[in-house]
């Protein structure tokens, strides 16, 4: 450590505080300090701001230029904002310590600075080693990509066995390997972005960036600049060049969410980008080539909007060589349980709470509600319930009145329609409905098999056989 202060008493006080843990050198002026730095390896410099001749900021600026790894600290009894700003911007100081300082505060600051110096040197050494080892970098990048692909793969999209999502994911996995544009349809909160991300990481572009833009969240006047970029001075407020999203996604995938909300003028410009494979930043003299795969998503019936003249037909056919529809949560009731368990773990981790149990009564409540907001609404309800509940079991009373009233308001016909799968053979669909009806009855009868068998007109042996066949077991 090098202590630079024109007051000898301050030098001695800092020396006594630090010399048990560090080797402390001292200097009374900037000139003496420079001489010390010339001949000694110094990790941390503690410098007074007000000194005769050269000020602390000017001296530390020289230190930064000649010995950039040395951590710089200003110790001063003055708190002028100009000194602090200059110290940060010009000298790159690590910390500003005010006089009179407390010994424990000074020691903690210097220890942290010494650790920062050590980590900085270690990082520089590792960077040097990695630069000389391209195969190591390539291997690590490949391993990291494999980890990301496992996290965002189709098999990690949470669903129950036999879910309607199985067919959607199967088609998506087949088209992912090609460069075709894909249009993903589905209600808000149903998981369209999750499916698009899985397509990207299953494609040859998985090593490139995946960027998302919500076209409905940005005014049309700014959307062109955000996606295609702009040059400085192109419009009021354009003080610097801006690299657009398409350029940032070069070699990867762009997801244009809520594409159905864009204006006719913007649709013309987007169509040109898709046709020509190049973007022209706002205010630029010439276009720039881009290599991206475009995925689009919307909750609108885009084909209907084409018929109504609200969406360009030629752009629609550019975006929709393949169209995938993500079913809403009410059409895949069997998925609610696994999704709720998965979301509950995430929410509990975010809130710092233990993961509670979902008893059968709570699961029955979740299955009976139609979830118009889909997975996003389910996640919000679980977060609310977890914040309000106490104990190891998440009871139905913790959910909002909307969920509880929605459960009681559903008619038998509406519930049966919600249980009906949207794909599969007749036998497969009937088996899903039978399994759901069996589970609903068992839940309502609190897994009393005698009463459930009587209600369903089955023997206990017949009911037990169906429970084993469909893998229906009560939650622990």
Lowest average pLDDT, out of 23-37, 128-142, 158-172, goes to 128-142
pLDDT at 381 over 80: yes
pTM given for the model: 0.59
Question: What's the whole-number mean pLDDT along residues 156-171?
Answer: 91
CATH, range 2-128: 3.40.50.2300
Query: Residue 239: which pLDDT band, with cuts at 50, 70 and 90?
Result: confident
Q: What average pLDDT score do residues 164-187 get?
A: 94
Q: How confident is the model at residue 240 (pLDDT cuts 50, 70, 90)?
A: confident
2-128 shares its CATH topology with 150-327: yes
Q: What is the mean pLDDT of residues 121-148?
A: 73
* pLDDT range class, residue 411, cuts 50, 70, 90: very low
Q: Please tell me the predicted confidence (pLDDT) of residue 131.
A: 65
pLDDT at 415: 47
Q: Is the pLDDT of residue 414 over 60?
A: no
Q: At residue 323, does pLDDT exceed 70?
A: yes
pLDDT band with cut points at 50, 70 and 90 for residue 268: very high
pLDDT of residue 195: 96
Candidates 318, 424, 328, 326; CA nearest to 377 is: 328
Q: Where along the chain do its domains lie?
A: 2-128, 150-327
**Given this model, what pLDDT does residue 55 score?**
84
Is 136's pLDDT higher than 60?
yes
> Which fold, 150-327?
Rossmann fold (3.40.50)
Segment 20-47 mean pLDDT: 92
HEC string of the chain?
CEEECCCHHHHHHHHHHHCCCCCCEEECCHHHHHHHHHHCCCCEEEEECCCCCCCHHHHHHHHHHHCCCCEEEEEECCCCHHHHHHHHHCCCCCEEEECCCCHHHHHHHHHHHHHHHHHHHHHHHHHHHHHCCHHHHHHHHHHHHHHHHHHCCHHHCCCCCCCCHHHHHHHHHHHHCCCCCEEEECCCCCCHHHHHHHHHHCCCCCCCCEEEEECCCCCHHHHHHHHHCECCCCCCCCCCCECCHHHHCCCCEEEEECHHHCCHHHHHHHHHHHHHCEECCECCCCCEECCCEEEEEECCCHHHHHHCCCCCHHHHHHHCCEEEECCCHHHCHHHHHHHHHHHHHHHHHHHCCCCCECCHHHHHHHHHCCCCCHHHHHHHHHHHHHHHCCCCECCHHHCCHHHHHHHHHCCHHHHHHHHCCCCCCHHHHHHHHHHHHHHHHHHHCCCCHHHHHHHHCCCHHHHHHHHHHHCCCCCC
Q: Give the whole-angstrom CA distance, residue 399 versus residue 210.
A: 36
Residue-wise pLDDT for 448-474, tens only, equals 888 889 988 999 888 888 888 877 766
CA 398 to chain centre: 28
- pLDDT, position 137: 64
| Contact predicate 386/353, CB 8 Å | yes
For residue 203, the model assigns a pLDDT of: 94
The DSSP bridge partners found for residue 72 are 45
> pLDDT digit string (tens) for 287-297?
899 999 999 99
CB 88 within 8 A of CB 109: no
Residue 224: pLDDT over 90 = no
Per-residue pLDDT at 444 exceeds 80: no
Q: Is the pLDDT of residue 422 over 70?
A: no
């Amino acid at each position: 450590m090098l202590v630079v202060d024109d007051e000898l008493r301050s030098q001695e006080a800092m020396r006594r505080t630090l010399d048990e843990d560090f080797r402390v050198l001292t200097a009374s002026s900037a000139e003496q300090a420079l001489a010390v730095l010339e001949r000694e390896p110094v990790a941390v410099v503690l410098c007074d701001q007000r000194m005769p001749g050269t000020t602390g900021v000017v001296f530390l600026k020289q230190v930064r230029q000649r010995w950039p790894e040395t951590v710089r600290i200003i110790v001063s009894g003055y708190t002028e904002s100009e000194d602090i700003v200059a110290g940060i911007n010009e000298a790159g100081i690590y910390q500003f310590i005010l006089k009179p300082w407390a010994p424990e505060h000074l020691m903690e600051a210097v220890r942290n600075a010494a650790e920062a110096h050590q980590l900085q040197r270690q990082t520089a050494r590792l960077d040097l080693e990695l630069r000389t080892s391209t195969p190591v970098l390539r291997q690590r990048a490949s391993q990291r990509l494999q980890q990301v692909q496992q996290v965002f793969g189709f098999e990690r999209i949470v669903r129950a066995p036999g879910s309607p999502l199985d067919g959607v994911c199967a088609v998506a996995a087949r088209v992912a390997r090609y460069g075709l544009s894909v249009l993903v349809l589905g209600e808000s909160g149903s998981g369209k972005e999750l499916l698009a991300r899985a397509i990207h990481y299953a494609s040859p572009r998985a090593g490139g960036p995946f960027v998302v833009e919500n076209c409905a969240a940005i005014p049309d006047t700014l959307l062109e600049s955000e996606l295609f970029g702009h040059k400085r001075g192109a419009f009021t407020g354009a003080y610097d060049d801006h690299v657009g999203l398409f350029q940032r996604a070069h070699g990867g995938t762009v997801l244009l969410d809520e594409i159905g909300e864009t204006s006719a003028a913007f649709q013309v410009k987007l169509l040109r980008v898709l046709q020509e494979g190049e973007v022209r930043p706002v205010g630029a003299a010439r276009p720039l080539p881009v290599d991206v795969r475009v995925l689009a998503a919307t909750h609108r019936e885009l084909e209907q909007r084409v018929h109504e003249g609200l969406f360009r037909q030629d752009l629609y056919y550019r975006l929709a060589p393949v169209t995938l529809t993500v079913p809403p949560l009410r059409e895949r009731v069997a998925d609610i349980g696994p999704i709720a368990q998965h979301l509950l773990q995430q929410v509990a981790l975010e809130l710092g709470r233990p993961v509670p149990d979902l008893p059968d009564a709570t699961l029955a409540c979740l299955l009976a509600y139609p979830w118009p907001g889909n997975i996003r609404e389910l996640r919000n309800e679980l977060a609310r319930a977890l914040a309000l509940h106490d104990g190891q079991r998440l009871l139905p009373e913790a959910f909002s009145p909307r969920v509880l009233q929605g459960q009681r308001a559903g008619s038998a016909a509406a519930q049966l329609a919600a249980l009906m799968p949207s794909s599969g053979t007749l036998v497969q669909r009937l088996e899903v409905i039978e399994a759901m009806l069996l589970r609903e009855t068992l839940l309502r009868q609190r897994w009393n098999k005698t009463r459930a068998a009587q209600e369903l007109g089955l023997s206990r042996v017949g009911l037990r056989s169906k429970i084993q066949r469909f893998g229906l077991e009560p939650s622990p």
